[in-house]
């Protein structure tokens, strides 16, 4: 059933109070369908650009400017935003603060999500100190580690606690997002405990593929994978250059001027 989902316009006023989104369901586009995954991944980038504009006192921005700041095609930006509702003004652009609000709401950042970080080593410390953490809709519920030498040490404004507190921390703070920054051999075990405790979203920095049950969302960050992708393109580039340049002047020793 369903088929053509109603007509695009029924009222006429672009609903300031409403959510531009008939279904109260979060995570759905104005047309009732879920937001495209690719759009979701770009919204945080737009949001960051918008914050930057807002801080600089810019009150209105056109899709050309905003898309340039976000590093994407302007048509793509407009289509992405159109999925949230019709929040632009033709001939003018978008109201920066209003768009910040709408994008934040679409991403579910009207609340502050408590996050638990497991692993207080080099990486865990870097993450916990990261400003973009606290300033962007999240708060650190706890940093956990198994090394008793680290317990009590303050990172940012949170003290490291022992990993045996994991279940308590998750339950008490209703944590649903966890970050794994422990060595690879310990990661799956930590993951299992997080999931058992109720965490449904995991950001994994350990270099292995985590096994999780359905309904649990895992994203990964891996420096070496990123570098390998870069290396691939770098080699292709240099090979093409060698192909083109006749053998004499390969490796350019760089101009001296």
Ligand X SMILES: NC(=O)c1ccc[n+]([C@@H]2O[C@H](COP(=O)([O-])OP(=O)(O)OC[C@H]3O[C@@H](n4cnc5c(N)ncnc54)[C@H](O)[C@@H]3O)[C@@H](O)[C@H]2O)c1
Interface residue list for ligand X (CB under 6 A): 118-124, 126-127, 129-130, 132, 144-147, 150, 163, 181-184, 186, 190, 205-207, 221-223
Choosing among DNA, ligand X, its own copies, none, which partner's interface includes residue 118 (Cβ < 5 to 8 Å by kind)? Answer: ligand X
**Separation of alpha carbons 39 and 37, rounded Å:** 5
CA distance 225 to 220: 10
Q: Of its own copies, ligand X, DNA, none, which one does residue 19 interact with (CB within 5 to 8 Å by kind)?
A: none
Interface residues for DNA in 72-101 (CB under 7 A)? Answer: 72-76, 78-79, 81-82, 86-94
Contact 71, 18 (CB under 8 A): no
Q: Of 46 and 128, which CB lies nearer to DNA in the complex structure?
A: 46
Pick between residue 85 and residue 120 the one whose CB is nearest to ligand X. Answer: 120
Q: Which residue shows structure tokens 């045996």?
A: 164
| Contacted by 251, from DNA, its own copies, ligand X, none: CB < 5 to 8 Å by type | its own copies
Tell whether residue 140 is a contact of its own copies (CB under 8 A).
no
Q: Reduced to 3 DSSP states, what percent helix, strand and coil does the chain have, rounded to the nearest 5?
A: 40, 15, 40
10 Å CB burial of residue 1 (0-12, 13-18, 19+) is: exposed
Piece in contact with its own copies (CB under 8 A), picked from 4-12, 38-46, 56-64, 142-150: 38-46
End-to-end C-alpha distance for the chain, whole angstroms: 70
């Amino acid at each position: 059933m369903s088929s053509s989902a109603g007509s695009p316009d029924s009222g006429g006023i672009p609903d300031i109070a409403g959510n531009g989104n008939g279904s109260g369901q979060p995570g759905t586009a104005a047309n009732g369908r879920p937001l495209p995954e690719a759009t979701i991944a770009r919204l945080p980038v737009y949001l960051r650009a918008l914050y930057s504009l807002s801080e600089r006192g810019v009150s209105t921005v056109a899709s050309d400017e905003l898309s340039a700041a976000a590093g994407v095609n302007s048509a793509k930006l407009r289509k992405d935003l159109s999925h949230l509702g019709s929040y632009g003004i033709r001939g003018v652009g978008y109201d920066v603060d209003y768009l910040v609000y709408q994008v934040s709401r679409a991403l579910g950042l009207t609340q502050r999500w408590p996050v638990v970080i497991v692993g207080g080593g080099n990486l865990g410390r870097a993450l916990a100190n990261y400003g973009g953490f606290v300033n962007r809709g999240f708060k650190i519920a706890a940093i956990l580690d198994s090394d008793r030498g680290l317990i009590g040490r303050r990172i940012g404004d949170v003290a490291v606690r022992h990993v045996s507190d994991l279940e308590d921390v998750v339950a008490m703070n209703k944590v649903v997002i966890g970050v794994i920054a422990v060595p690879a051999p310990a990661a799956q075990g930590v993951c299992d405990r997080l999931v058992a405790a109720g965490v449904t979203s995991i950001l994994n920095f350990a270099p292995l593929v985590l096994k999780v049950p359905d309904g649990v969302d895992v994203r990964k960050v891996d420096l070496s994978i990123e570098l390998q992708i870069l290396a691939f393109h770098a080699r292709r580039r240099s090979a093409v250059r060698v192909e083109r340049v006749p053998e004499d002047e390969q490796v350019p020793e760089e101009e001296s001027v």
